[in-house]
Amino acid sequence: MGPERHDADVEPSAVAADAAVRSGAGLLSSSPLTALNGRGELDPRAGPRSVAGLQRMAGNRATARAVQRSAAAPGGLRWLSRIGYRLDKPLPSSAPTPVEDHSPNQRKWNKTDFYAFWEAEQGRKLSTSEKKTVDRGCIGITANNLEGGGNPSLVEVYDSFSAAHSAMYKHNNTVWNTYFSSSLYVMFGMLFWSNQDPDVSKRATPDPTAFRGDPKTHRVDMSGYQYRAQPGKVNFDYGFWDESTSSFWHANHKDFGPDDPMIVYQSTRDKFAHPFTMPDGTERYGYDDFDRAVYGVAVANNYDVGKAKTP
Amino acid sequence: MSEDRIGQPIEVEGRAYPSAAGATVHTGEQSYYLGGGVSWDMEMVGKRVRVSGVLRRRRAQVQTRPPDEEQEHGLTDDTYVIEEPEWTLLQ
């Protein structure tokens, strides 16, 4: 199964423009698309007529995206930020104090500090609804960035970080996503228990064949996943991959108030899904709660990747 | 496990594992979390330990909901916690 485009979610005029670009340089050379450079940024020399033509052809949303890319380009006016701080650098004196600092592998933060990091990067306040989503714990952090609520899409999931990262890169560099889409793909990690038997007495041991990647595509079929935990263990651990700090953002659990608050974890790839083997030879990742580590790729409709500073 | 053991002193031996909700000791029949914020790093995986303290039951933190409903992150079952734990590494 190859990477999918999500044309159903986009403006028809923009799809037509995408097709026009794909159809050849003849059309391109005489179209308003010449206002775009090779990186999908608006050419600084483009006049109002070119911009208006691009708006007619691709729609307001796509044109705004091109203008945004242009502003974000080197020399542009946008100030880029990131969620918090890199793990491999000392914290500046202005940084809040982490709950625990195990850098360069992990830092643990108060939830309110994470709110502040997110808002500083994204340039806007989290709404009450978005905070409620984040407060659901690890899954909430990822769900908020993807759609602002719900559960993260498990339609496109891979069995390795590198396969998912490659897929994300390809998605974000299609003609459509380079020139027109206002949302980019992101990736997230997910640790969980393979045995999803509804009978808890039959769920204690791993299912050795469940949720394995296709040997060629590395895609994992998650259709049978029911969010069930290994008995007596935590149900899952989602981590939002933050390219700008090269870390996963996850959590201890949902927020239970001052007596048992949600603590946000910032972890390296290895810390998040560290593999180890149990005495019986079965695999685990991160904690003994989880025997699968997979990586999802999805569109971030509630998080502007373009505002994240590249490493 | 009988309810009358809750709140009583307990001592168990088993293997140590790092779990998402804290350090645990598996006796083979039962798994216990260690209270007091104890955490074990990867070097402790599978090591034999003896743990003593006071037994407490911790209620499930979240419910497993149908897949089309919003999920929450946490323990979905009641678990046993050894509070004020003292532990020693066994050879």
Interval B53-72: pLDDT, tens = 999 999 999 999 999 999 99
Contact B61 A233 (CB under 8 A): no
Q: Can you tell me whether residue A211 is helix, strand or coil?
A: coil
From B30, B67, B25, B40, select the one nearest A235 (Cα to Cα): B67
Complex ipTM more than 0.90, yes or no: yes
| pLDDT above 60 (res A151) | yes
Q: What's the gap in Å between the CA of A40 and the closest CA on chain B? A: 36
> How high is the pLDDT of residue A12?
35
Rounded average pLDDT per 10-residue block, chain B, 91 residues: 88 96 95 93 93 97 96 97 97 72
Calpha distance A101→A295 (Å, rounded): 26
pLDDT band for position A308 (50/70/90)? Answer: confident
- End-to-end Cα, chain A, rounded Å: 31
A259 versus A307: the higher-pLDDT residue is: A259
Q: Which residue of B has its CA nearest to A134?
A: B72
A233 versus A53: the higher-pLDDT residue is: A233
Q: Which residue of B has its CA nearest to A274?
A: B42
Range A41-67 average pLDDT: 52
Q: Which two tokens stand for residue B27?
A: 């006796």
Which candidate in B39, B57, B73, B80 is best for mutational testing of the A interface (most A CBs within 10 A)? Answer: B73
Q: Which residue of A has its CA nearest to B29?
A: A204
Range A198-209 average pLDDT: 96
pLDDT band for position A73 (50/70/90)? Answer: very low
Say how many CB pairs under 8 Å bridge A and B.
98
Instruction: Note whether B91 contacts A: Cβ–Cβ < 8 A.
Output: no
- Which residues in chain A have Cβ-Cβ distances shorter than 8 Å to B65? 227
Tens digit of each residue's pLDDT (9 = 90 or more) over A3-27: 333 333 333 333 333 333 333 333 3
The DSSP H or E segment spanning A239 is strand A237-242
Average pLDDT, chain A: 82
> How high is the pLDDT of residue A293?
98
Q: What's the gap in Å between the CA of A106 and the closest CA on chain B? A: 13
Calpha distance B72→B62 (Å, rounded): 6
Calpha distance B17→A20 (Å, rounded): 58
From B38, B61, B62, B64, select the one nearest B51 (Cα to Cα): B38
| pLDDT above 90 (res A267) | yes
Q: Can you tell me whether residue A263 is helix, strand or coil?
A: strand
| pLDDT above 50 (res A104) | yes
